[in-house]
Structure 1
Amino acid sequence: MTMTFRDVSPEDAALQPIITGLFGEYEARYGDFFSRSAEEELTEWYLPPHGLFIVLEQAGELVAMGAYKPLDADTAELKRIWTRRDLRRQGLAFKVVAELERRALLAGYRKTYLTTGFRQPEAVRLYLSQGYEPQFDLSRDPEEYSQPPHDGRLRFTKVLGESIAPSQAAHAGEAG
């Protein structure tokens, strides 16, 4: 079945079910560890020319999403990367991240930055498979990053335009 990307406004009513799913998952994994104030972040930061919000559609249904916003003049911060639960482990999140990177590069960004939570090992695997450099110690128990002085976020960076190793790409379908 054909899948297509579509640019959307972060305030598009059609996004509400998938946004609700995203924040419901955060709540199930973390309780109130992370503030729901992140929902309020869906603003003009995600609108062109500096930002972008995309959905991946299949048969008219939203199956995955992602966004970026400016972190600084050279860096796009990837956000809201999510795949519908019943469609995971098919490489959809990999496709979303790759499209966000492609579009960020076209928009003039040279680097990307993103964070994921300490209880999302599948996201860590996804970002590592796409050539992201962890800004934390992979050998530590991720739960340690939920304790001060840490804030629970696992940070990654990537220089755009660098290709990933074939061994990394081969494992990309394992997450997302």
Structure 2
Amino acid sequence: MTEVEIRPVGYDDPAAQQLVTAALADLGQRYGGPGDQTPVAPTQFRPPEGGFFVAYLAGEGVGCGGWRGYAQDRAVAELKRMYVAPAARGRGVARRLLEAVEQAARQHGRTRMILECGDKQPEAVTLYRSRGYEPIPHFGYYKDAPGVISLGRTL
């Protein structure tokens, strides 16, 4: 297997934006509509209040993910825009990317990571549960949406 390289980038980096666009299209196919409509701003992913990463295989951007601060609790980070291109799935990219995002949040003083996903993302839920994420009360943009799954874990 080619080594996965994880690089910190700006949310508005061209490789990041290409992957975010693909992530939103994937969510749109799963749930209908334009994908995740949670408001995000590139500035939310700038250290020390957040971070964004692109995963590369053989020099090609194949995955992305980031964290941003959670306004209700400065010790908490929210995972956003986790995505791996279909051709790169099953190769450990998502796990490595999640580890990098968690480590960055920890380095910036966050002690807990939370996330929202949905019941039509079983592979994501499996990954998160395997990393120790457990159900938490719903929060955020989709807190009242049918099928929402909210998870969190101590970093």
Fold-level similarity (TM above 0.5): yes
CA separation of 1:116/1:149 partners in 2, compared to 1, >3 Å: closer, same or farther? closer
Note the C-alpha offset of 1:16.
2.9
Matched residue of 2:37: which SS? Answer: helix
Structure 1 match to 2:13: 12
CA separation of 1:150/1:21 partners in 2, compared to 1, >3 Å: closer, same or farther? closer
Note the C-alpha offset of 1:150.
4.1
Structure 2 match to 1:51: 50
Structure 1 match to 2:115: 114
Is the Cα–Cα contact under 8 Å of residues 28 and 35 in structure 2 kept in the other structure?
A: no
> Which entry has the higher C-alpha Rg, 1 or 2?
1
Matched, 1:157 2:152: yes
Matched, 1:128 2:123: no
CA separation of 1:94/1:70 partners in 2, compared to 1, >3 Å: closer, same or farther? same
Aligned length, in residue pairs: 148
Distance 1:149 1:134 in 2: 15
Equivalent AA in structure 2 for residue 153 of structure 1 = V
Structure 2 match to 1:37: 37
**1:56-89 C-alpha deviation (Å, 9 max, x unpaired):** 1122210111100001210000111110111111
Distance 2:134 2:94 in 1: 18
Distance 2:36 2:113 in 1: 24
In the alignment, structure 2 segments of 5+ residues that lack a partner are: none
Q: Which has the higher strand share?
A: 2
CA separation of 1:29/1:124 partners in 2, compared to 1, >3 Å: closer, same or farther? same
Distance 1:35 1:98 in 2: 24
**1:28-81 C-alpha deviation (Å, 9 max, x unpaired):** 00112x76533x514201111110000111222101111000012100001111
Structure 2 match to 1:73: 74
Is the Cα–Cα contact under 8 Å of residues 11 and 42 in structure 1 kept in the other structure?
A: no
In the alignment, structure 1 segments of 5+ residues that lack a partner are: 137-145, 161-176
Matched residue of 1:65: which SS? Answer: strand
CA RMSD of aligned residues (A): 2.1
Identity of aligned residues (%): 32
**1:83-103 C-alpha deviation (Å, 9 max, x unpaired):** 011111122111111111111
CA separation of 1:42/1:151 partners in 2, compared to 1, >3 Å: closer, same or farther? farther
Q: Which has the higher helix share?
A: 1
Distance 1:28 1:94 in 2: 23
Is the Cα–Cα contact under 8 Å of residues 76 and 109 in structure 1 kept in the other structure?
A: yes
